[in-house]
Chain A
Amino acid sequence: MSEPAERETIVVIDDDYAIRLSCRKILSKMGFRAETFEDGAQGLEGVARLKPGLAVVDLKMPGISGMEVIARVHEIDPEIVVVVITGYPTIDTAVAAMKCGAYDFLPKPFSPDELRLIVNRGLERRRLAIESRRAEVERALLKRRFVTFVSHQLQTPLVAIHQYLSVLKNLDDTDDAAAKRQQWFDRCLARTGEMQTIIKDWLTLSRIEGDRLSRQRVKVDLKRIVTDILATYEEMARRNTVSLEVRMPEDAYLVRGDRNCLIVLFDNLIVNAIKYNKPGGKVTVSGEAREGEVEISVTDTGVGIPEKYRQLLFDEFFRVEDEGSKKTAGTGLGLAISKRIVSEMGGSIEVESQVNAGSTFRVRLLAFRAQAGEEDNNRSANEFTSEEDTDRGR
């Protein structure tokens, strides 16, 4: 229920004094603010003023008919639940009242328990309706934001490429332009690569959202995954003059989860650590197996992440911009994907960082515990990584 400070208001509209009195008593005892009115006109005025969550309306009253009151209540606010009281409970009147938008009806005479039950049920329905509408609005907003940002993310490199081409076309053939031309072609190629990465990351994210990647729960050795991933990035690390080190003393680091998701997760973290490192820097992947838990840390010696950004880091599309990463292509989706994967598997991910010294991303996952009759289907991680473009950091 909502907070006690804002009690739900219930309006009772009935020309029968005894009904008004007893309803007020029962509803007040239930903790509601109960307001009663003796005819439709006053009742509607009260509904407009009090904005109740629920209205109890007598069908047979002098003046405005009960049916009309129901309709007018919903003109004021379609989410007010209307419960009808009727002295002549026939199927016809009930159907007519429902058609007018009533939620349920209460035949006279009714017991306090009947009133309580119907009011609680009505308000519960209202709560659910409001909640689902709110969730829907939020979802729509999020979706719109997401689409806007993805379009902007895709537009940005496209615009840069277009701008280079347009300038190349309009610029006269001077020596200066010729020198720039080669450089600009390279930039155009790099930016198309950026767009491809964005699209690939976006697809990965939607696949995880669609739950298709994450259903599998098998025994996975993180040591094997990490070693395989590092092997695929040896060349990239050499180019960036970054050294790679593994500190995983145990024979195996077993967790239960989706192998492909875990590969995507550590692939993201390791690529970031190489990409956002300094020349001559180092990437260290260390593992620790504790009671019921496996912890893998990926540490770089890069530019670090200023404190104000650390909370935002796992948001979709967030990317730290600074001198060191200016020309590094990234979609800002990688860490959002990583976080989603980790939480899907009931684990956690956190970052520690020192500006100009480096960052450590620490992933904690539940350790594997054998279940009866479980088969070990630990396959090589290569079948997935081979699909991945090992050059995606450029």
Chain B
Amino acid sequence: MSSPAKKILIVDDDHDFAEAVSSYLEAQGYVVVTAHEGREGLKLAKMERPDLIIMDIVMNERTEGFFTVQELRRTAELKAVPIFVMSSLYSKITDFGVPPDSGWLAHDEFFSKPVEMPALVEKIRQRIGGGEATA
């Protein structure tokens, strides 16, 4: 309770999706910052140092999310931040044919969109804690 609220960065080019998810996470007690494309997300990540990143894969009609993950992993201070990637394009991460050196870490997660909010919060809590239930 006394520790500062955990911070989550959402990178998604769909404003409505980002708005819905961030509103819910805020209601759960997280601080949320939002970016709508990869480059902006990278900049915000460096500035805000989030505890966890939610990353859309297909942005601007390409798999921009994967490039952004690779860039994040190249940044020393962001190397170990858990990243939850999300997409509506496929239901399994393997369908994307992600190369093994894409910066994918064991504590990262893949979610198929749309995301069940309670399940997402549960996973986030497992990774970084925080998220006081409002009840």
Contacts and interface: CB of A to CB of B under 8 A. Distances in A.
Interface string A198-233: 000000000000000000000000000000000000
> Chain A binding site: helix, strand, loop or mixed by DSSP?
helix
Interface stretch (A100-108, A152-160, A298-306): A152-160
A60 interface: no
B58 to A, nearest CB: 6
Interface string B3-15: 0000000000111
Nearest to B61: A317
B23 A159 contact: no
Nearest to A332: B61
Contacts of A148: 89
Given A159-B114, A160-B14, A167 B58 contact: no
For chain A, which range describes its interface: under 10, 10 to 19, 20 to 34, or 35 or more residues?
Answer: 20 to 34
A170 B88 contact: no
Contacts of B27: 171-172, 174, 176-177
A174 to B, nearest CB: 8
B88 A180 contact: no
A321 interface: yes
Interface residues of B, number: 26
A332 B27 CA distance: 35
A286 to B, nearest CB: 32
A163 B115 contact: yes
B14 A326 contact: no
B31 interface: no
Contact of A167 (B15, B20, B113): B20
A149 interface: yes
Interface in A162-205: 162-164, 166-167, 170-172, 174, 176-177, 180, 184, 187, 191
Please give me the 7 A-B residue pairs with the lowest Cβ-Cβ distance, nearest first. A160-B16, A162-B114, A155-B88, A163-B20, A159-B113, A167-B24, A167-B20
